[in-house]
Structure 1
Amino acid sequence: MIEPRVKRHFEHLAQRVFNVPLMIEETKAEMIAAALQSRLGIFQVSRIDGTVLGANEMQALAGDARRSWGDNWKPYRTDGQVAVIEVDGTLVHKFGWLDPISGMTGYDGIAKKLRAAMKDDDVKAIWFDIDSPGGETAGVFQLAELIALNTKSEGGKPIWAYVNEQACSAAYALASVCDKIYAPVDAIAGSIGCYCMHVDFTAALDEAGIKVTMIRSGERKARGNAYEPLEDTTLAKLQAWVDDTRERFARLVAQGRRQTFKSIMATEADWFQAGEAQRLGLIDDLMSEEDAWDKLLRSISRSR
């Protein structure tokens, strides 16, 4: 019997794994629980024979789960000679999870898959299947640089992106450095910009009769907190930060899409439907996923 303490956002996983009949061999079920233990807050697993697995044993068992899949296990799905890497949902820096889950994908997971695919002699091309509104700034530029350095144009393998059906903000940053970008007519892409949100609770605190006093050592310590009005110096600092990030983003896209920095900045961080995105040079062509896939396969065949 498995007794989890379920963390929010993973309840749907627990409902499918725990306290329901499973048609799976018991040791495999234990491996699944071990692999999910850090995400679901499972501290121990009571086995059928009465023994108990603690956190350390589950970590070891999670490692065994991967090995049990065989020496040919790959961290990505392959279709013929193409490695398919999903970029799905909100993108975050250090998710520590290879596959998209609970509406999030980690930059670290994408990077691990990309590095493995580049070393895989059976993989002749890489297909990024993108459906994401973007996410964290932290980590995105490093991953975009890694992708750019491994493209066919840089002497690596062909890396194509398919917008299926959204590639905005950080997701577009990753797409923009690929060799090719294709999309269906209903896709949206772009949003080449950055923003920062500041929350000011002072009015709500006043209404509730709560007074917060900040005691700081160092004039700039804890400036921009939610319990004081945002003063001009901090506002200017935050504005400069987002402006710098937007410019870095625009230069990345300009280089990847062979556009001018001025033309990318002129988009004013707007998002565009596929036809307009193509006109602006943000994507290469409009076509179905099947047609784009066939185009990639023909490209691989010609390069042999």
Structure 2
Amino acid sequence: MRIVRFFVRLFAVIGFLLVAGAVAVVVLAVRHEPALPDAVVLELDLTKPLAESESGRIGSFFEHQTTLREVLDALDGGRRDPKVKGVLARFSDDSIGFAQTQELRAAIERFRASGRFAVAFAEEYGGGGPGNRSYLLASAFDEVWLQPLGTLGITGLSVELPFARDAFDQMGVQPQFAQREEYKSFADTFTKSGMTPANREMMEALVADLTNQLVEGIASSRRLAPAAVRAAMDNAPLLSREALDRKLVDRLGYADEARDEALKRAGAGAELVEPFDYLSVAGGPHDAGPTIALIHAVGTITGGKSEKPALGEVAAGSETIVEAIEEAADDPEVRAILFRIDSGGGSVSASEAIRRALVKARQNGKPVIASMGDAAASGGYWIALAADRIVASPATVTGSIGVVAGKFGVASLSDKLGVHWDRVQSARNAGMWSPVRPFDDGGTERLNAILDDTYANFLQRVAESRRMSPDQARNVAKGRVWTGAQARELGLVDELGGQDQALTLARTAAGLSPDAAVTLTPFPPPKSVTDQLMELMSGRGELVGALAAVAELRPLLAQLRPLVAAVQGDGVQARMPAMTLER
């Protein structure tokens, strides 16, 4: 059978290579122009999520996935390029995270400060869902367009949390979890039927602070009173004419009219150019000078290799990340490490492995600057503690300094199904993690001992890294989630800003001037198409056709992540609670 499978894969790859070769010729001919037009208008598609790093999937060969770094580089390079006259961006719903939105707002403000224009267009800001973040970003543009009959969905923020205890009771499933401390609400999804007072207090504070950031950002960009923005929220979704009357949009028109107006402002011969195409010809703003290593930790922190599957959640594998850190630390060309985190946590042991690798890199003379994305909480905050400096966006979700562990007991469910279990064991706690028996006194004692020891170590690392007393560390911990702005006030992060600010700190830490030219090099480097094809032949790669087929399942999978993660039971977890903003 192995030889049969080999030849099946071989012929499949040969056929794929023939198709890929033909497509490559067309793609390269169409996408890679030898020169830029004399007048360039950068064209941004902000209707889709922006990846934190390159996907590494073979499907990206056919459809390029825009990254946040790519957009930032195009805007940064464009504001210094005399050919670039402005930017035209298309918006839709809230597909881009809050922290990413704030980073892009800052980039647009720098772009406009160079004397260039910025036009935003949307058929609807939100449509059938919220448009808070999309409009917050659009408000930073000097001209905001909305299609007639479109709506402006600045409906404000809400948090929705799932609680499945009653469902588990009906099924005969017994969630047995313990956590440290009262704000560590990850397991509440399984063990409670509603919010605890501590959980509600935490969520109300988060929503209030993020709402203030939303209101203040829009008010500042549109030169409106905060009270006027809040009044608009209370009446949203706004009809197109209402949005115009409230001075939240500048013009009502269609996509072709916004495009024609942008090209007219750019001058004769102007053309729209996407960020990827622009950077392919003009080069990036960080392609020359001393090397700064860029390392990503994106997704749930796990042991093993980082994964970016077509189905399911991205995993930040400790093995991949540790190898990248070690390679950067051993590279004599690398002057500093920019460590980008977008993770709500995960395995404690994997988080500790990554933290230790960063500590060793610093001991090897490589400064480490942590840059937090939309989330750097629990295990995501654990790994940030190893950095020389921590930078967070005001809306970054961070903190959640606490731990949780446990299991699901299915003994009652098994009895209902007529399946009965018997056992033989060689030691007192040999069946401790078995799902068909609850924790006994010995298992409960061991579980609490593990949690207490892990939590104590977490607090110690916070106290040492953030120069706090043990009591101060515990007061800001207890599993509580904070915004980046709140974390800055509490001393959990050093500065507010995005990757641009973190890169400035990395230059300074490397002994360079704050604005020195640097080469920003990803570790590990993105996989080539050849590497991906070899993985496909070996049976380890993704099937191209599956990429599109499962794309629609991602929203559902996002809701199921807490249950899936708990069932997998990867030891003690440092995870933030599952929460869905604005749905």
Same fold? TM cut 0.5: yes
* Cα gap change, 1:218 to 1:293, in 2 (>3 Å): closer
Partner of 2:497: 287
Q: Which has the larger displacement, 227-236 or 128-137?
A: 227-236
2:506 to 290, 296, 299: 296
* Cα gap change, 1:272 to 1:193, in 2 (>3 Å): same
The 5-angstrom pairing of residues 170-189 of structure 1 reads 170-189=379-398
SS at structure 2 position matched to 1:210: coil
1:21 aligns with 2:19: yes
Partner of 2:408: 199
Partner of 1:248: 457
Residue 293 of structure 1: CA displacement?
A: 2.1
| 1:85 and 1:113 in contact (8 A); partners too | yes
1:207-257 superposed Cα distances (whole Å, 9 cap, x missing partner): 222221122233332134111232222112111111111111111222122
1:104 aligns with 2:311: no
1:91-146 superposed Cα distances (whole Å, 9 cap, x missing partner): 11222x5xx52301211211111111122222111000110111112232233123
1:91 to 276, 280, 301: 301
1:282 maps to amino acid: L
Residue 273 of structure 1: CA displacement?
A: 0.6
1:132 aligns with 2:130: no
2:439 to 230, 250, 256: 230
2:322 maps to amino acid: A
Tell me, in whole angstroms, the C-alpha distance in 1 between the residues paired with 2:487 and 2:428: 46
1:159 to 368, 375, 391: 368
| 1:177 and 1:257 in contact (8 A); partners too | no
1:30-62 superposed Cα distances (whole Å, 9 cap, x missing partner): xxxxx99xxxxxxxxxxxxxxxxxxxxxxxxxx
1:277 aligns with 2:487: yes
User: Which runs of 5 or more residues in structure 1 are unaligned?
Assistant: 5-13, 26-34, 37-76
Partner of 1:28: none
How many residue pairs are counted as aligned between the two chains? 240
Return the TM-score normalized by structure 1.
0.70
Tell me, in whole angstroms, the C-alpha distance in 2 between the residues paired with 1:101 and 1:187: 22
* Cα gap change, 1:155 to 1:211, in 2 (>3 Å): closer
| 1:127 and 1:161 in contact (8 A); partners too | yes
Which structure has the greater CA radius of gyration?
Answer: 2
Tell me, in whole angstroms, the C-alpha distance in 1 between the residues paired with 2:472 and 2:7: 57
SS at structure 1 position matched to 2:321: helix
1:143-164 superposed Cα distances (whole Å, 9 cap, x missing partner): 312312332xx56122100001
The 5-angstrom pairing of residues 207-226 of structure 1 reads 207-226=416-435
2:324 to 104, 113, 116: 113
2:19 maps to amino acid: P
Partner of 1:64: none
1:144 to 351, 355, 361: 355
* Cα gap change, 1:211 to 1:161, in 2 (>3 Å): same
Residue 185 of structure 1: CA displacement?
A: 1.2
Residue 260 of structure 1: CA displacement?
A: 2.0
1:67-95 superposed Cα distances (whole Å, 9 cap, x missing partner): xxxxxxxxxx9875210001100111222
SS at structure 1 position matched to 2:465: helix
Tell me, in whole angstroms, the C-alpha distance in 1 between the residues paired with 2:338 and 2:420: 54
Partner of 1:44: none
2:355 maps to amino acid: A
Residue 189 of structure 1: CA displacement?
A: 1.0
Q: Which has the larger displacement, 164-173 or 257-266?
A: 257-266
* Cα gap change, 1:85 to 1:3, in 2 (>3 Å): farther
SS at structure 2 position matched to 1:112: helix
Which protein is richer in helix relative to its size? 2
| 2:302 and 2:317 in contact (8 A); partners too | yes
User: Which runs of 5 or more residues in structure 2 are unaligned?
Assistant: 1-5, 26-55, 58-285, 517-583
* Cα gap change, 1:144 to 1:298, in 2 (>3 Å): closer
Return the TM-score normalized by structure 2.
0.38
Tell me, in whole angstroms, the C-alpha distance in 2 between the residues paired with 1:130 and 1:79: 24
